[in-house]
Amino acid sequence: MMIISSGPRRLLMAVVSVAAALVPFYSTHAEMSAWADNEGGRMRLVALAPDAGGKIRAALQIEPKPGWITYWKEPGGNGIPPQITIAADSGVTLDAIAYPVPKHFFTGAIEDIAYDAPVTLPLSLTAAGKGPVAIDAAAFIGICKDICIPFQANFQLKLGPAIQSHPQEEAILQAADASLPKPPSQDFGVTAHAMSPDRKTLSLTLALPGEGPSEGKAAPDIIVTGPSGHAFTKQIGGKRDGATFKVDVAIGKLPENYDISGKRWGVLVIDGERAMETTLAFE
């Protein structure tokens, strides 16, 4: 399992966590909240009115300051993954959070899977009933540089009628969708996977696109996400033969008595300018 941050980072996180929880509500009657500010960056909530089925397209915009990062969905041991909760009595539920393609950073023994530039996390929400919709949300992320600062803010949005046009919000959501990794395709995906009997390595066979660094000797970036809190990235003996890439991924320590049978893990493959994400089912 990857190492995400150092001891000093964790210490400061504990010291500032109480203060970070005191960011006030950011409320508006539009489809975009005001920005909530933090020492390392800012964030806000964007949403469109529900469609006829009650589905709401929304997003959390995060803008780290230069030199700062914020984490991907599975940061590993010491990072802070984004957390978004919706008030239970608001009549709105959170169905899913999507994550744009992250970057892979190495600083000595510290490995981060994160974003060092503005990022927008698409949110899928559902509103109950047909009346006016008010989103009451709390967002909690980590903003890190030499230190990590927990960043929490509360947002309230009252959504207007769906018949109104909101081009700025729509553009933000469209750009966020375009930044997501693509599902597997015929020329880019996992064609075979197998866990070793000792659960120390995961063998992968990939179909890679005929472009980007994979056409040379460089291996694609592979991030395997297993049980919650676990991500595996160390490749062993990768070999490309035409459009086929075979590699073993080292599997670190798993939870005690973890039974992989019936589990579904995730895998993100970044090859040049293209990225693919899919699930691995284990029998």
Give the model confidence (pLDDT) of 271-280 as tens digits.
999 999 999 9
Among the listed ranges 12-16, 43-47, 101-105, which one has the minimum average pLDDT value?
A: 12-16
Q: How far is CA 27 from CA 9, 31, 83, 267, in A?
A: 32, 10, 19, 37
What pLDDT does residue 150 have?
92
Higher pLDDT, 167 or 195: 195
Of 118 and 253, the structure prediction assigns the larger pLDDT to 118
Q: Are strands 221-225 and 264-271 parallel, antiparallel or unpaired?
A: antiparallel
Q: What is the pLDDT of residue 63?
A: 98
Model confidence pLDDT, tens digit, residues 161-179: 665 667 888 999 999 999 9
pLDDT at 106: 80
- Based on its alpha-carbon atoms, the radius of gyration of the chain, rounded to whole angstroms, reads 20
Give the chain's mean pLDDT.
85
Q: Which two tokens stand for residue 240?
A: 């490309």
**Which comes out higher in pLDDT, residue 75 or 263?**
263
Q: Which pLDDT tens digit goes with each residue over 226-239?
A: 998 899 999 999 99
Mean pLDDT of 94-101: 97
Q: What are phi and psi of 152, to 5 degrees?
A: -120, 135
Top-confidence residue, 51 or 265: 265
Share of the chain above pLDDT 70, in %: 84
Indicate if the pLDDT at residue 137 is higher than 80.
Answer: yes
Q: Is the model's pLDDT at 129 over the cut of 90? A: no
Q: What is the DSSP string of the chain?
A: ------HHHHHHHHHHHHHHTT--EEEESSSBPPPEEETTEEEEEEE----TTSEEEEEEEEEEPTT-EEE-S---SS----EEEE-GGGSEEEEEE-----EEEEETTEEEEEESS-EEEEEEEEE-SSS-EEEEEEEEEEEESSSEEEEEEEEEEEE--TTS--HHHHHHHHHHHHTSPBPPBTTBEEEEEEE-TTSSEEEEEEE--SSGGGGTTPPPEEEEE-STT-EE--EEEEEEETTEEEEEEE--PPPTT---TT-EEEEEEEETTEEEEEEEE--
What local confidence, expressed as pLDDT, does residue 95 receive?
97
pLDDT at 274: 94
- Place 132 in a pLDDT band, splitting at 50, 70 and 90: confident
pTM: 0.86
pLDDT grade for 217, boundaries at 50, 70 and 90: low
